A and B are shown apart, each in its own frame.
Chain A
Amino acid sequence: MLYRRIFQFLLIYLLALGLLFLFKYSLNLSDYVIPGPDEVWRTATLVFNRYLFDGLNTLYVAIVGHLLAIILATLVAIIGRQANLAGSLIKTAAYNLQAYPIVAVAPVIFILLGDGLVSRLLIAALICYFPLLLSFIGILTEPVTDIEHFYVTTGRMRWQLEVKIRAFENTAKLATVIAGSATLAMVGTIVAEFIGADAGIGYSLRIALYQSNIAKVLVALFLIGIFNSLYLTCLEFIGYLVQKKLKISPGEIR
């Protein structure tokens, strides 16, 4: 699984790089606009180690931010699934929050929380939580009539049980959504680092752009792709394990 994903990423990256070089040489552009292969290689040997640790730092924040987003989306979806005033309010607030572009909200977050870890975590979580929320609300509001009917008619239905049944019946969907939102967690973290933090690969990208150093940008993008592939593969594997473990009959749900 990992091998395939890394291979796919490398293929896409090299294709994109090839197109860039094609563009450069067909228009006779200088290394300032698009660096040549030799400069990209030379830059990679110079900054790779530093960027590797920056990338790891970003990955760590992305994972924690992603976890936060999952928790947040789960809580909001549990409350928001109800067709009462509280549920409606929560949903409206959650949707409105997403309507604000994060680049406009980020300065306020940095002013309130500083440019450290907490701000990066929060921005990463805010960027990836919405697709999670939409899917979670969709899943948790959709009754599994066949199973729920029994508990409702016997008077044993509680909200915890309802959530459990609906989550259990949609484990595959949940796993896909969580893995899919991992990319957004990475994007969110990089955006946060780019805008206001002082660590991580997004911060290095920002400095490289300040210096108009496209070779550094290409190296950073390569590492971002690799780390993203790694994280996605891990999540898919965890999802696979969870689904395998949960292959129990619905009657066992308590």
Chain B
Amino acid sequence: MIHHLLRPFFLPAVSLFILLSLAGCGPAPDSSGTPLVYRLKWLYNMSVVGDLYTLEHSFFAQEGLEVDIRPGGPERDAIKELEIGRAHFGVASADQVIRAVAKGSPVVVLAQLFQANPLQWIHRAGQNLQTPADLKNRVIGITYGGNDESIMRALLAKHRIREDKVEFFSVRYDYTPFYQGKVDLWPVYQNAEGLIISEKLAQAGEEADFFNPNEFGIRFVANSIITTEQMVREHPETVSKFTRAILRGWRQSLDPANADRAVATVQRFDRDTSVSLLSKQLDATRTLMMPPSGKDFGWIDSHAWKQTAGIMFEQKLIATPVSVDEILLSRVN
């Protein structure tokens, strides 16, 4: 009789147990010596030099923290891992954070890494691409659904260029259409693959240049360090120590005096990139990350965040406007 009554609950109960086990409801930090998990946005490359430098130079340990830095990738989303409890800190781009907050995610921004978005468009030099008006009648590569699409559409709208005046080309990992000259402008991370493509063009006797939307009023924020409201509320000391350590690592890694050490650190994790290219990438990364004078590293540019949220709302990427002040924890101007 009892078996009969309980039978309908058996499958949901087993499923819930399995799901909760799979979720890996991680133990609270500090409580049992479990390392803090820090999920990066992308694979190990120069864009995470400060994170690796912090780890390699024991800045976390000096704060009494044990941190496990895990690389990101196309299928990794730090925000989701934070919510599920598989990570304590992470790196996410502003558009990811704004989308998540618009859907009720309790994510908090601790520090802004890139002060200028590294996403720019590479083109061959001497093509007279000085202003947004010069984009007319050009073939522009965009990743449909990616933030480069949002940036380019916002740029065109801001400068009142109708989209039918340009031709969009759907971009993938294969740069052949750009090398062949079928596409005039190709979106790249200027401090990473931008320099690699520039080198390849140089080998072919061509010179590359970059079209930077940031210079034309589009301040679309890129990567920031994030955590959850719960983490800030329940473990403020840990958050404080983590932020202090990671910002120290970033500051030191971008200090020209430590350039050799920074390059050596990244090379231990990214063995496929030559030292000379890593050095160039470090210089480019430094330019994109250093805050304006008078501001500390990690400074959060709230005006840029508001513009980013505004662009996303206008382009219907979020259903409701997001109040960015509520997600920017500190260091706001």
A residues neighboring B (CB under 8 Å): 19, 22-23, 26-27, 29-33, 35, 39, 107, 110-111, 115, 195-196, 198, 206-212
Contact = CB atoms under 8 A, between A and B. Distances in A.
A27 B104 contact: no
B174 A196 contact: yes
A111 B177 CA distance: 9
B19 A19 contact: yes
A27 B20 contact: yes
Which of B25, B75, B172, B317 has the most chain A CB atoms inside 10 A of its CB? B172
26 contacts: A22-B15, A22-B19, A26-B19, A29-B84, A30-B103, A30-B105, A30-B106, A31-B103, A31-B104, A31-B105, A32-B80, A32-B83, A32-B103, A32-B105, A33-B79, A33-B105, A35-B103, A39-B103, A107-B174, A110-B174, A196-B174, A209-B145, A210-B143, A211-B317, A212-B77, A212-B99
A208 to B, nearest CB: 7
B100 interface: yes
B243 interface: no
Given A23-B23, A115-B172, 6 more contacts: A22-B12, A26-B20, A27-B83, A30-B83, A32-B100, A32-B104
B84 A115 contact: no
Interface of B: 12, 15-16, 19-20, 23, 25, 75, 77, 79-80, 83-85, 96, 99-100, 102-106, 143-146, 170, 172-174, 176, 317
A111 B182 CA distance: 13
Given A27-B25, A210-B143, A32 B99 contact: yes
B244 to A, nearest CB: 28
Contacts of B19: 19, 22-23, 26
Contact of B16 (A22, A115, A209, A210): A22
Nearest to A211: B145
B146 A29 contact: no
A33 B80 contact: yes
Q: Which 10 A-B pairs have the closest CB atoms?
A: A207-B145, A210-B145, A31-B103, A32-B103, A30-B105, A30-B104, A32-B100, A32-B105, A198-B170, A23-B19
Contacts of A208: 145
Contacts of A107: 173-174
A22 B14 CA distance: 12
Contacts of A195: 172
B168 to A, nearest CB: 11
A115 B145 contact: no
A212 B80 CA distance: 10
Nearest to A110: B174
A169 B105 CA distance: 60
Contacts of A23: 19, 23
Contacts of B99: 32, 211-212
Given A22-B12, A210-B145, A29 B77 contact: no
Contacts of B102: 32
Contacts of B79: 32-33
Nearest to B19: A23
A110 B171 CA distance: 12
Q: Which of A30, A39, A107, A195 has the most CB of B within 10 A?
A: A30
B323 to A, nearest CB: 16
Contacts of A110: 172, 174
A30 to B, nearest CB: 4
Nearest to B81: A33
Residue from A23, A26, A32 whose CB has the most chain B CB atoms within 10 Å? A32
A210 B83 contact: no
B28 to A, nearest CB: 15
Contacts of A212: 77, 80, 96, 99-100
Q: Which of B16, B84, B99, B174 has the most CB of A within 10 A?
A: B174
Given A22-B12, A208-B145, A212-B96, A27 B84 contact: yes
A111 B172 CA distance: 11
